[in-house]
Amino acid sequence: MTAPLKVGVLGTGNMGRNHLRVLSAMPEYELIGCYDVALEAAAAQAALYGITSFATPEELYAAVDVAHIVVPSFLHKEYAIAAAKAGCHVLVEKPIALAVEDAQAIIDACRDAGVMLCVGHVERFNPAIITLADILLSEDIISIDFSRMSPFDTRISDADVVQDLMIHDIDVLDSIVSSPIRRVVSHGAKVYTDKLDYAQALVTYENGIVASLTASRVTESKVRKAEINARDAFIVVDYLNRTVEISRKTNFTLDIGHPAQYKQENIIEKVFVPFKEPLRAEFEHFAHCIATGETPATSGEMGKQALELCLRISSEALA
């Protein structure tokens, strides 16, 4: 067995703490330490896991093989490029950056340094989405409808709802549909911030597939759902409950010997979805890619592709 990868986490906010929790229990990694501009917050997390609280990002980079960038999005470019130049493999949380030029700069820095880059599109590693991807290999897709809604969260201040929430579904959409985009139409509203807090988008592709995406951070209920109309099936995915149901047409009729008959027009398949924490699956995948040289499923290019559609949707919504 190869030696575990030495890893450090930059950013100890809510998501950074999740990274620390998961990495601390993984045999593929040796959790070395963390860094945050709020040194006391970092020290508290370091004490919790018996690791080092670094005084500067540079000291952390020098001590690890892999750097997890979990700082606010506007800092992704600065931290990711510095990590790459220090020789660290980089996992940067979504969105990869807030501008396409910054995303490309991160990609270029990692390529030039010969290190791996993975973007934290964690929904791609949700067991329900992995199960869906397998199902869709044998389906003729007509349309896809994504809904992602949450109550307002004051922690997110540098990204609109498209880059904050809808981007998850855009990345899943990019992994499903490999056709050029024909048209994007979107609308949105600013509610609690000076950025879009609610957005709807309709994306049509050259191959005829139509995708609808709704994202809200002003809805007092948490919804994470995808509905796929296919030629021979209707598929519903609940991200939160990690369930997949398939409705199919059937012509089953039971003749019981008199005029009353039982007729069933469709059947519902409840697909078994194995349980696995998506964040752990994501980190396992990245460790595997570092060991084998395989390109991560959520590569820098995939992260940039998702960002490009995000920015296009936001621009249309604000026009």
Domain residue limits, the chain: 5-115, 124-276+307-318
pLDDT for the residue 265? 52
User: pLDDT of 28-78, one tens digit each?
Assistant: 999 999 999 999 999 999 999 999 999 999 999 999 999 999 999 999 999
pLDDT for the residue 313? 96
Q: How confident is the model at residue 266 (pLDDT cuts 50, 70, 90)?
A: low
Q: How confident is the model at residue 257 (pLDDT cuts 50, 70, 90)?
A: low
The CATH number, out of the four listed (3.30.360.10, 3.30.70.20, 3.40.1010.10, 3.40.50.1100), of the domain defined by the range 124-276+307-318? 3.30.360.10
Instruction: Please check whether the domain covering 5-115 is classified as CATH 1.20.140.10.
Output: no
User: pLDDT of 274-286, one tens digit each?
Assistant: 788 999 999 999 9
Q: Rounded mean pLDDT of 199-219? A: 97
- Given strand 66-69, what is the order of strands in its sheet? 52-53, 29-35, 5-10, 66-69, 89-93, 117-120
Q: How confident is the model at residue 148 (pLDDT cuts 50, 70, 90)?
A: very high
Mean pLDDT, rounded, of the chain: 92
pLDDT for the residue 259? 56
How far apart, in Å, are the Cα atoms of 243 and each of 57, 131, 227, 233, 303? 40, 9, 12, 16, 26
Q: How confident is the model at residue 166 (pLDDT cuts 50, 70, 90)?
A: very high
Q: Rounded mean pLDDT of 124-150? A: 94
pLDDT for the residue 253? 53
Predicted confidence (pLDDT) at residue 144 exceeds the cutoff of 80? yes
pLDDT for the residue 154? 74
DSSP annotation of 5 reads: E
In 3D space, the residue among 88, 109, 87 whose CA is nearest the CA of residue 97 turns out to be 109
Can you point out the beta strands (E) in 44-164?
52-53, 66-69, 89-93, 117-120, 141-149
Beta bridge pairs of residue 243: 238
Cα separation of 199 and 42, whole Å?
Answer: 35
Cα separation of 48 and 41, whole Å?
Answer: 11
Q: Going by C-beta distance under 8 Å and a sequence separation of 6 or more, which residues neighbour residue 71?
A: 10, 11, 16, 79
